[in-house]
Structure 1
Amino acid sequence: MPVKLFTVLTVSIALSGCFSSTKNKVVIVEKSFNQQNINQNSWTDKTTNFKKTKQKSSNKKNKSIKKSWSIPVSGKIVKNFSKNHLGLTFKTQSGQSVRAIRDGKVVYSGDKMKSHGKMIIIKHPLGFYSSYTQNQILKVTDGDEVSKGQIIAVTGKTPFYFEMKKFSSPINPLKYLK
């Protein structure tokens, strides 16, 4: 009998916090963007209002993210993103300028991966990465900070290949590029 009483008492105390009438602030963090997406002032106890607020904030972020990207090179896309082709292949002429699609930091610039030719990888905010391959001349080096539209390389004779990733997962660049 004392064990049951102790168990009931312990569970009651633990659950009493769930039913208190004091209101605490709730902060929700959107992990994919690593930013807070809920305005604390608009929080109410009604679940429907919470969902509406979250969707509005999320949509605003997605629109601002999409507006901040640009095409890396001018040329016709000859091969689109698919399960077997994790980037975009552009038909380019030798000597075209390659531009950074967004502000970021160069994390790789070199030609150690022979199948990709001279390659640049840029880390962008919010876990995005972009890679620019099959270049003739590289104009940036590891550790350089680059800005959107900055010339980072010059294309070679081989068609230009471009990839984007969100952390380590390949993503379709056409969803972001304008």
Structure 2
Amino acid sequence: MRGLIKKYLLKQNRRSRKVNTRSGLSQKSRKSWFFAYLVVFLTGCNTTHDPAAVSVSDLVAVPVQASVIVDGPIADVVQDSAVTADDSTEEPTQTLQMHHVQSGDTLYSIAWIYRKDVETLATVNHLRAPFMIYPGQMLTITDSGEGEPGGEKENKSHSKLVKKGTNDVVVGQSERSLIPEPKSAGISKDKAPNGAVDWHWPLQGKVVKVFSFQGEFNKGIDIRVKLGEPVRASADGEVVYAGSGLGMYGRLILIKHNSSYLSAYAHNKVLFVREGDSVKAGQKIAEIGSTGIKELTLHFEIRRNGKPVDPLRYLPTRGT
């Protein structure tokens, strides 16, 4: 069939050439060419049914966009992918706070207010020792949350670091129950490590309010005293704040004992030390009063890396 069509087309082509040389393509020739092409088109559509009969020259490459075949609804897959991405990149957010420095403020007193480590606060604000600040200055406070007593925060990751000997082992959630909790040798279960600080009671008296982060909130202990009773330094250290600029604390003394620990003595009547003084354990630093409160008590705190800890876990055991 194709052979006959080709012969017909050649014959028509020879005839059309003669016409084209004189007056262009005749109407009859145009109709013949149209008819011939129509026959070829229809013949090509209906003669090749066997895929094996198609030659390589008859194939046409058609570019297609790559696709991914997914079992199940597409919406579900997208949602699961989004959740996985959020979980894998989740980071704790921090709220930026600013503090306007007032007359009488020190970096230690500001760190005390916000429960921050003074070294961290100094680093954030590009301050160097002795951490001089001035009224009107704006300090940046990075607020990562209150945390738990003692500055310990819950680890939100899916693994837990367990120290055993000198090796650090990462343990997944499903394996936590298989490994016993590490025990600290030589430390009483009811006492905390003192960080090489020899702690003493600041005065004698009954503890009327204990440390608590639940119910009746208290960041230290309150000791009932008599008016004018001497308050003594609980350990060797340096006075980093002595004043009455923190409102509810009344006349307050802050003593730095090392890079980790501070102690606080609040509601004093008279202060016998000032900022920069070095003090020894048992040295008289103040007389008790009732500034900032109605009841006659000494409010005593110990802070580790800026966070309140229970003083009763550090002070020598005695009757309360």
TM-score range, shorter chain: 0.5 to 0.7
Report the counterpart of residue 247 of structure 2 in structure 1.
Answer: 114
Deviation at 1:159, TM superposition (A): 1.4
Q: 1:80 to 1:142 in 2, by over 3 A?
A: same
The residue aligned with 2:51 is none
1:80 equivalent among 198, 210, 229: 210
Distance 1:177 1:150, change over 3 A: same
Q: Are 2:304 and 1:166 equivalent residues in the alignment?
A: yes
CA–CA separation in structure 1 for the residues paired with 2:297 and 2:253: 15
Change (3 A) 1:87 1:62: closer
Quote the sequence identity (%). 35
Structure 2, unmatched stretches of 5+, are 1-162, 168-182, 291-295
1:101 aligned residue = 234
Residues 55 and 145 (structure 1), Cα distance of their counterparts in 2 relative to 1, 3 Å cut: same
2:205 maps to amino acid: G
Q: CA–CA distance in 1 between the matches of 2:284 and 2:164?
A: 47
**In structure 1, what is the equivalent of residue 265 of structure 2?**
132
Map of 1:175 onto structure 2: 313
Residue among 189, 193, 196 paired with 1:62: 193
**Is the contact between residue 238 and residue 276 of structure 2 (CA under 8 Å) also seen in structure 1?**
yes
Could you say which structure has the greater relative contact order, defined with CA pairs below 8 angstroms and 6 or more residues apart? Answer: 1
Alpha-carbon distance, 1:114 to partner: 2.5
> Alpha carbons of 1:125 and 1:92: their partners in 2 closer, same or farther (altered >3 Å)?
same
Task: Give me the whole-angstrom Cα distance separating, in 1, the residues matched to 2:218 and 2:164.
Answer: 41
C-alpha distance in 1 between matches for 2:199 and 2:307: 18
Distance in 1 separating the partners of 2:250 and 2:307: 22
Other-structure match for 2:288: 155
- Secondary structure of 1:142's counterpart equals coil
Compute the TM-score of the two structures, normalised by the length of structure 2.
0.37
Q: Secondary structure at the match of 2:222?
A: strand
Change (3 A) 1:103 1:130: same
Matching residue's letter, 1:62: P
Task: Output one character per residue of 1:113-152: Cα deviation in whole Å (capped at 9) or x when no partner.
Answer: 2221110000112410101000000000000011111110
TM-score (norm 1): 0.64
Deviation string for 1:47-76 (max 9, x for gaps)? Answer: 97647xx955x85x937847x100011110
Alpha-carbon spacing, 1:49–1:110, altered in 2? closer, same or farther (3 Å): closer
* Largest Rg, 1 or 2: 2
The code of the aligned residue for 1:148 comes to A
The structure in which a higher percent of residues are strand is 1
Question: Residues 82 and 138 from structure 1, CA distance in 2 versus in 1: closer, same or farther, beyond 3 angstroms?
Answer: same
> Conserved in 1, the CA contact under 8 Å of 2:202 and 2:233?
yes
Cα distance, 1:172 vs structure 2: 0.2
Superposed CA offset, 1:3-44 (max 9, x none): xxxxxxxxxxxxxxxxxxxxxxxxxxxxxxxxxxxxxxxxxx
Does the Cα contact within 8 Å between 2:194 and 2:314 map onto a contact in 1?
Answer: no
